[in-house]
Chains A and B, each alone.
Chain A
Amino acid sequence: NAGVTQTPKFQVLKTGQSMTLQCAQDMNHEYMSWYRQDPGMGLRLIHYSVGAGITDQGEVPNGYNVSRSTTEDFPLRLLSAAPSQTSVYFCASSYSPRDWRLTGELFFGEGSRLTVL
């Protein structure tokens, strides 16, 4: 089983460039989310989705866009990268929103390390 797959694993951008971090899961999970992890800090929620066509903001959404056109995919877009967005990004998914609320368990990808110069 592939689980949650993130691409690319590493990326270097210049300030102002745009890019998309890809996330795909093959577990038919309805709930998907993006977190960022910074040194000395825990993970912080950027955006999440409870199903295809439905997205919402987390605690640090500024500078990021998401869309959810299919159940499998949840890309994270940086429209104009800034050095403050240098971080490790994690995509995580769970079963239905109801199951997510019942169990709280997330399945994580391996992460994408982004550096913005």
Chain B
Amino acid sequence: AQTVTQSQPEMSVQEAETVTLSCTYDTSENNYYLFWYKQPPSRQMILVIRQEAYKQQNATENRFSVNFQKAAKSFSLKISDSQLGDTAMYFCAFMNPFLGGSEKLVFGKGTKLTVNP
């Protein structure tokens, strides 16, 4: 079974600085998807960024980028120019899209990020 590990329960960063959240995963599959979801204090979870394992290029969405190291099974999220609105719980998630209908997202335990003014 796949597992997702986020080793940093809490992190903080000063506004405008850069922060990196760590995520490692365990799988025997070669093709899969990885995600970072953000859960602000209002609790509605939204997708931040997505990476397909077959793509060598790291995904980027504005100030958010990932460092995907497939051999190391590592998928870190870098937030540049941190803003107060980035304060949230961040979840790393894994999905195997080839299970013929029983696909699911496997989530890590989350990292609580606080951006300080």
Chain A residues with CB under 8 Å of chain B are 33, 40-45, 48, 50, 56, 58-59, 88, 90, 92, 97, 100-106, 108-111
Chain B residues with CB under 8 Å of chain A are 4, 9, 33, 35, 42-47, 50, 91, 93, 95, 97-98, 101-110
A58-B104, A103-B50 as given contacts; A40 in contact with B42, CB under 8 Å = no
Q: Which of A44, A92, A100 has a CB less than 8 Å from the CB of B103?
A: A100
How many Å lie between the Cα of A92 and that of B91 in the bound state?
Answer: 15
A42-B91, A42-B109 as given contacts; A102 in contact with B97, CB under 8 Å = yes
Q: Which residue of B lies closest to A100 (CB)?
A: B103
Q: Which of B43, B102, B108 has a CB less than 8 Å from the CB of A42?
A: B108
Assess the A45–B98 pair: CB atoms within 8 A.
Answer: no
Q: Which of A45, A90, A109, A111 has a CB less than 8 Å from the CB of B104?
A: A45
Assess the A42–B4 pair: CB atoms within 8 A.
Answer: yes
Q: Which of A50, A59, A104, A111 has a CB less than 8 Å from the CB of B101?
A: A50
Known: A42-B4, A90-B45. 8 other contacts (CB 8 A): A42-B91, A43-B105, A43-B107, A50-B101, A101-B98, A105-B35, A106-B47, A111-B43
How many Å lie between the Cα of A113 and that of B112 in the bound state?
Answer: 19
Assess the A106–B105 pair: CB atoms within 8 A.
Answer: yes
Q: How far is the CB of A41 from chain B (nearest CB, A)?
A: 6
A33 contact set on B, CB distance < 8 A: 104
Assess the B44–A42 pair: CB atoms within 8 A.
Answer: no
Assess the B43–A101 pair: CB atoms within 8 A.
Answer: no
